[in-house]
A = this chain, B = another copy of it.
Amino acid sequence: MNYTIKQLSDLAGVSTRTLRYYDQIDLLKPERINQSGYRVYGPKQVDLLQQILFYRELAFSLKEIRSLLKSPNFNFRDALTDHHQKLIAKKQHLEQLIRTVEQTLAAQKGAIQMTDHEKFDAFKKEKLAENERKYGREIRENYGEKTIEKANKQFAGLSRADYEKTQAIEKEMFENLSKAMQLNDPASAAAQKAAALHRQWLFFFWPEGTYSKEAHAGLAQMYVDDPRFTSYYDTHLANGAAKMLRDAVNIYTQQN
């Protein structure tokens, strides 16, 4: 039995474009081309297409399918196992994403309930005062009066949306830092992510143009040297959190 492209496409439930594409990429060539230039498919091609669609269902890429079908010693099981790993990895990534979105959503909801504008303003001011109390002197010493004034102004000027972003960033940073501490590796992906998030976080609080790799690394060192900083990080996670962050930031600023 021979089929035209349309007949085969109807049979298999794919578009003619798909069949032409498969021809083009050497995945499924027609048996022959007739005098009018029409593609003619035979039973072998029907079988092959069947197999192709089977693999496609399993979300193999066409390139992978081509390899599988063309290599004479196609190792179905290894390919499947490998494929399985990839799918699992994808799923885990998706789950992480979903968690992050849910957290952001939860933070958002909490904020919405806090409709009282005054409350929010007060909260910001409180944070600012706290910040001032805690780190004011250090920052002042390092960057001077003007810088700290500008920083305070910037924090006071944060919109509610921005404020929530800082919270989300800080939260994610803590999560990555936590993972890094389990791995006990400041060069791990999680640790580096934490360092990157920490930088992002700083951008919200440092006056424009203040950021530099040196300042970042310096601040991280301060986290270890000053017990007030240290305790902030260590009590939020576990002992050694400040050190881990410092080490991660050191690697981060050297590499980027």
User: Quick check: which of A100-108, A118-126, A134-142, A231-239 contacts chain B, the rest being far away?
Assistant: A100-108
Q: Is the CB of B13 within 8 A of A77?
A: no
Tell me, in angstroms, the Cα distance from A168 to B76 when the chains sit together: 14
Copies held by the complex = 2
Give A23 Cβ to nearest chain B Cβ, in Å.
Answer: 21
Which of B43, B58, B161, B199 is in CB contact (< 8 Å) with A100? B58
A33 at the interface (CB under 8 A from B): no
A203 at the interface (CB under 8 A from B): yes
A4 at the interface (CB under 8 A from B): no
Q: Is the CB of B108 within 8 A of A165?
A: no
A95 at the interface (CB under 8 A from B): yes
Tell me, in angstroms, the Cα distance from A43 to B150 when the chains sit together: 14
Which of A53, A57, A109, A196 has the most chain B CB atoms closer than 10 A to its own CB? A57
Dominant secondary structure at the A interface: helix
A50 at the interface (CB under 8 A from B): yes
Tell me, in angstroms, the Cα distance from A170 to B12 when the chains sit together: 17
Q: Is the CB of A46 within 8 A of B208?
A: yes
Q: Is the CB of A43 within 8 A of B208?
A: yes
Q: Is the CB of A76 within 8 A of B161?
A: yes
Chain B residues closer than 8 Å to A80, beta-carbon distance: 101, 104-105, 108
Tell me, in angstroms, the Cα distance from A2 to B80 when the chains sit together: 52
Q: Is the CB of B77 within 8 A of A105?
A: yes
- Per-residue interface assignment for chain A, residues 67 to 92, with 1 indicating a CB less than 8 Å from any chain B CB and 0 otherwise: 00000000011001101100110110
Chain B residues closer than 8 Å to A97, beta-carbon distance: 58-59, 87
